[in-house]
Amino acid sequence: MKHLLKDLDPFTETKIVGMYAKCGSLEDAYKMFDEMSERNLYAWSAMIGACTRERKWDEVVELFYLMMMEDGIVPDEFLFPKILQACGNSGDVETGRLIHGVVIKCGMNFQLRVNNAILAVYAKCGFSDLAKRFFDSMVLKDTVSWNSIITGYCQKGELEKARRFFELMREEGFEPSLVTWNILISSYSQLGKYDVVMEMMIEMQSCGILPDVFTWTCLISGFAQFNRKTEALECFEKMLLARVQPNDVTLISLLSMYASLKDLKKGRELHAWALKAGFGENLLVGNSLVDMYSKCAKVEAARQVFDMMLARDMYTWNSMIGGYCQAGYCGKAHDLFRKMRESDVKPTVITWNTLISGYMQNGDDDQAMDLFQRMEKDGHIKQDTASWNALIAGYLLTRNKDKALGIFRQMQSLCVKPNSFTILSILPACANLIAAKKVKELHCCVLRRNLDCELSVANSLIDTFAKSGNIKYSRTIFNSLLAKDIITWNTLIAGYVIHGRAVDAIELFNDMSHTELKPNRGTFVSVISAYGLARMVGEGNRIFSRMIEEHHISPCLDHCAAMVNLFGRSGMLEDAVDFINNMTIEPNSSIWAALLTASRVHGNIELAVYAGERLLELEPENALIYQLVLQLYALSGIPEDSFKAKEPRKMKDAKECLGWSWIEDENTVQSFVGGSQCQQINWVMHSWIKHMAPKSKRSDLSNGLPVEEEESEALSGVHSEKLAFAFALSKSSSASMCMRVVKNMRMCKGCHETAKFISNTYRREIYLCDSKCLHHFRDGHCSCNDYW
């Protein structure tokens, strides 16, 4: 290959380079091109054409700048559109504007082809106003110009405007072409507006225009986007019936749908079809197949396709590496990664992130961290937000909240911008009472980055604020939203239920019925719970029936547990038992736990024993339940040796059966363990706690049965939450400060009384989340209405 061009005249040189660019590999063409003694417009055009064929838009733009700067050659009316096409496809509006200026300067601004290409850049890049102004300034227009301006409005989602220009176009005497119809059909299809699409299909054909491969592929990819399998396949069949040959894009639209649905059977069928139809050597189809098999957990099949492929690009490698990671074979993924680095396709930021995420998901954070650090040094690729997100999501998966939050902090200190993925993974980690401050910080971060316009982020904030004890903020965000989905409503309704605010929850449910949104399973769980809180058994029963009959939702375990609570709160224990006996699904532990709470609060010890035994059957390993059943036996006089259950697993750590409480204090978390002498609390407070400790005897039925923690503090020492209360009171005297405490076990009745007392005497609001419920104490009352 070397010096192939030696001693040739410029004309022959150009011809040879042109041939290589057209038929050979891009790499070879570059080699020849660099050897040329004199590079003229045609040589540059050949190179740019070669890059265009391989969709290397950035390289096209780079070649353009080199051509202008190094050789001082200005493109002609054929080359300008090629470069502009690259600008449009890579979103490079800057270069587009620059070319716009050059075109005016060299008097080419009357060339329709060139003007259309400039217009297309503005339209594709979403600058519809700029496009409109340019369009208006064009003296000569054709159908292509109209198509571009319509594309511009479609790109920005302004379909009504696009439609208006479509009409205007006809009025001005330009008949919409097949492409024009395709542009509109495609846009409506991507938005899932299938009724409009079908109307347009009919109208188009009545104009004598038959759908082509683009039209059908637009339809198929529109259905595929929303995982509408049957419709997509139907279109594919109709297309074949109409004798329109599908192309690679048609196939990859379907394959990517089967991949995301993990429909291996259909995927295989299409694979076979593709081979028969002669797509066996197609790069894009191959890539989609590797991805499909990877997502369907068939890595061997994916690898087979991978190995058979004649050419591979970054998609091929990334999909295969991702497949190995997904399957848990990080080692194999890493081997392939090494091979990729030796190949002519270099790892991209996605490759590195895929591998980092793979190691994190498989619990190897050392390897992941190593790669994270090496990607910049060895790979010359800067970590992006997704790289950081991979670490955060990984740590959260292994319940390593502190590490995840640490990474998040580091990310912020290095000024890496968090995106909605970051926020959506970090927020749930802060959905507790001792992270209230952190949640407010995150909210600020969301506002700064304008992430609140994403509904999923807003929904998550509503949820997190509720769980961190700031339901007011949840409401504020809810009210500020212009568009709400069913999740938005469900989240706030559930938030009110958590806070014991039944009336607000029910009111909100009624508000929702005035929208066009239909309540779903989750909505009904919350609403039944709300009626339970309000002790409106009749209403609760009615909504349960309406759910089944009017909304055709079959009750699941969560609905049933809510129903048991509904009866239980109102003391209708027989109804609760009847309900359980008539359940069509097998009760789980949350059903029996609900019955246990009901019988405990209402003092029915036999029923409590019954529920406790069922609970133990389902969770024989659970030492806390074991202990509880023993206590119940003692209270009801059943001899302990009649205990049929086998010994539960031993507590690994004494910590597990101790009562712990946590409170947030100046950005750190203070922990308290029951019965300890607390150094953080001064002696005045300590004596105050002792004074506060109720002089209750060992609990009896009227006092509620003990569940987890020994009620008598004379035996076990002062409970942890009291230490936390004392600490909080001694830290600040401001009554405006509310206390937020998290506790690992269910509160005992005595501490519950103490909290009520403090909330009244010291005018302090207290939020306390125990293992059963969120208590909100104010003015001597608790939001749980003494039922928990």
Partner DNA sequence: CGTACCTGAG
Segment interacting with DNA, rule: CB under 7 A, options 315-323, 468-476, 620-628, 679-687: 315-323
Compute the least distance from the CB of residue 350 to DNA, in Å. 4
Question: Which of 20/421 has CB closer to DNA?
Answer: 421
Is residue 598 within 8 Å of 576, Cβ to Cβ? yes
d(CA 43, CA 14): 5
Site string for DNA, 593-632 (x = CB under 7 A): ----------------------------------------
Segment interacting with DNA, rule: CB under 7 A, options 247-255, 504-512, 593-601, 611-619: 247-255
Question: Which of 318/526 has CB closer to DNA?
Answer: 318
Question: Which of 152/540 has CB closer to DNA?
Answer: 152
Question: Which of 419/622 has CB closer to DNA?
Answer: 419
Any bridge partners for residue 768, and if so which? 741, 775
- Binding flag, residue 213, DNA (CB under 7 A): yes
Compute the least distance from the CB of residue 386 to DNA, in Å. 3
- Binding flag, residue 759, DNA (CB under 7 A): no
Residue 112 one-letter amino acid:
L
Any bridge partners for residue 782, and if so which? 777
CA angle 260, 265, 271 (to 5 degrees): 85
The first and second tokens of residue 40, run together, are 């003229």
Among 29, 99, 125, 259, binds DNA (CB under 7 A): 259
Question: Which of 250/670 has CB closer to DNA?
Answer: 250
Q: Could you tell me how many residues of this chain bind DNA (CB under 7 A)?
A: 76
- Binding flag, residue 454, DNA (CB under 7 A): yes
- Binding flag, residue 228, DNA (CB under 7 A): no
Nearest Cα to 137, choosing from 153, 126, 149?
Answer: 149
Site string for DNA, 176-205 (x = CB under 7 A): -xxxx-xx--x---x---------------
Residue for token pair 């429909």: 263
Nearest Cα to 459, choosing from 441, 444, 446?
Answer: 446
Is residue 466 within 8 Å of 491, Cβ to Cβ? yes
The first and second tokens of residue 408, run together, are 């998040």
Q: Interaction with DNA in 85-114: which residues (CB under 7 A)? A: 85, 88, 112-113
- Dihedral of CA 440/442/445/449: which sign? negative
Compute the least distance from the CB of residue 434 to DNA, in Å. 22
Compute the least distance from the CB of residue 92 to DNA, in Å. 13
Nearest-10 Cα torsion for 124, 128, 130, 135: 90
The first and second tokens of residue 346, run together, are 């270099």
What are the backbone angles phi and psi of residue 662, rounded to the nearest 5°? -130, 145
Compute the least distance from the CB of residue 137 to DNA, in Å. 16
Compute the least distance from the CB of residue 127 to DNA, in Å. 14
Q: Interaction with DNA in 288-307: which residues (CB under 7 A)? A: 288, 291, 295
Question: Which of 333/739 has CB closer to DNA?
Answer: 333
- Binding flag, residue 209, DNA (CB under 7 A): no
Compute the least distance from the CB of residue 289 to DNA, in Å. 10
Is residue 657 within 8 Å of 623, Cβ to Cβ? yes
Question: Which of 63/609 has CB closer to DNA?
Answer: 63
Among 95, 353, 490, 491, binds DNA (CB under 7 A): 353
- Binding flag, residue 120, DNA (CB under 7 A): yes
Residue 340 CB neighbour total at 10 angstroms:
21
Compute the least distance from the CB of residue 387 to DNA, in Å. 7
Question: Which of 191/536 has CB closer to DNA?
Answer: 191
d(CA 256, CA 259): 5
Question: Which of 180/565 has CB closer to DNA?
Answer: 180
Compute the least distance from the CB of residue 343 to DNA, in Å. 14
Question: Which of 112/701 has CB closer to DNA?
Answer: 112
Among 73, 102, 283, 369, binds DNA (CB under 7 A): 283
- Dihedral of CA 150/155/161/162: which sign? positive
Compute the least distance from the CB of residue 452 to DNA, in Å. 12
- Binding flag, residue 350, DNA (CB under 7 A): yes
Question: Which of 174/688 has CB closer to DNA?
Answer: 174
Compute the least distance from the CB of residue 171 to DNA, in Å. 18
The first and second tokens of residue 228, run together, are 């509408």
- Binding flag, residue 314, DNA (CB under 7 A): yes
Site string for DNA, 135-174 (x = CB under 7 A): -------xxxx-xx--x-----------------------
Question: Which of 256/699 has CB closer to DNA?
Answer: 256
Segment interacting with DNA, rule: CB under 7 A, options 244-252, 528-536, 608-616, 655-663: 244-252
Nearest Cα to 120, choosing from 107, 134, 108?
Answer: 134
Strands 739-743 and 668-673: unpaired
Site string for DNA, 364-393 (x = CB under 7 A): --------------------xxxx-xx--x
Question: Which of 420/754 has CB closer to DNA?
Answer: 420
- Binding flag, residue 326, DNA (CB under 7 A): yes
d(CA 46, CA 479): 58
Compute the least distance from the CB of residue 141 to DNA, in Å. 10
Compute the least distance from the CB of residue 225 to DNA, in Å. 7
Compute the least distance from the CB of residue 472 to DNA, in Å. 25
Residue 424 CB neighbour total at 10 angstroms:
18
Site string for DNA, 407-446 (x = CB under 7 A): ------------xxx--xx---------------------
Distances (CA, A) of 554 to 524, 557, 593: 11, 10, 22
Nearest Cα to 83, choosing from 95, 68, 70?
Answer: 95
Compute the least distance from the CB of residue 532 to DNA, in Å. 29
Collapsed DSSP state (helix, strand, coil) of residue 555: coil
d(CA 351, CA 314): 8
Question: Which of 93/505 has CB closer to DNA?
Answer: 93
Strands 766-769 and 739-743: parallel
Taking each helix axis from N to C terminus, what angle separates 248-261 and 229-241, rounded to the nearest 10 degrees? Answer: 160
Cα distance between the two ends of the chain = 82
Find the radius of gyration of the CA atoms of the chain.
34
Q: Interaction with DNA in 31-60: which residues (CB under 7 A)? A: 55
Question: Which of 456/622 has CB closer to DNA?
Answer: 456
Among 41, 74, 277, 349, binds DNA (CB under 7 A): 349
Helices and strands, number each (H, E), in the chain? 41, 6
What are the backbone angles phi and psi of residue 661, rounded to the nearest 5°? -130, 150
6 CB contacts (<8 Å, ≥6 apart)? none
- Binding flag, residue 128, DNA (CB under 7 A): no
CB-count exposure of residue 505 (10 Å: 0-12, 13-18, 19+): buried
Question: Which of 133/649 has CB closer to DNA?
Answer: 133
Nearest Cα to 767, choosing from 688, 678, 662, 675?
Answer: 662
Among 109, 398, 400, 456, binds DNA (CB under 7 A): 456
Question: Which of 10/126 has CB closer to DNA?
Answer: 126
Residue 426 one-letter amino acid:
I
Question: Which of 418/500 has CB closer to DNA?
Answer: 418
CA angle 144, 145, 150 (to 5 degrees): 95
Starting at the earlier edge strand, list the strands of the sheet with 774-778: 668-673, 660-665, 739-743, 766-769, 774-778, 781-782
